[in-house]
Amino acid sequence: MDFLYAIEGQSEFSRRLELGETFETVFSTWSRDRFEYYKNIL
């Protein structure tokens, strides 16, 4: 499950970088989303 999520997150990550968002912006958002994802599991 985590593996699939990581792949999904990676493609989303790449897509947003292509849209011209800065690496810092994308990464901080992605990290927060990932944190929320784990919080909901636990």
Quick one: pLDDT band at residue 8, thresholds 50, 70, 90?
Answer: low
Count of structural domains, the chain:
1
- For residue 18, pLDDT over 60 is answered with yes
Domain limits for position 11 = 2-41
Quick one: pLDDT band at residue 1, thresholds 50, 70, 90?
Answer: very low
**Cα separation, 33 vs 12, whole angstroms:** 11
Average pLDDT rounded to a whole number, residues 5-13: 67
SS3 (DSSP) at 21: coil
Residue for token pair 């784990």: 38
Q: How far is CA 7 from CA 1, 12, 27, 33, in A?
A: 10, 9, 15, 14
Average pLDDT rounded to a whole number, residues 23-32: 75
Quick one: pLDDT band at residue 4, thresholds 50, 70, 90?
Answer: low
pTM, to two decimals: 0.32
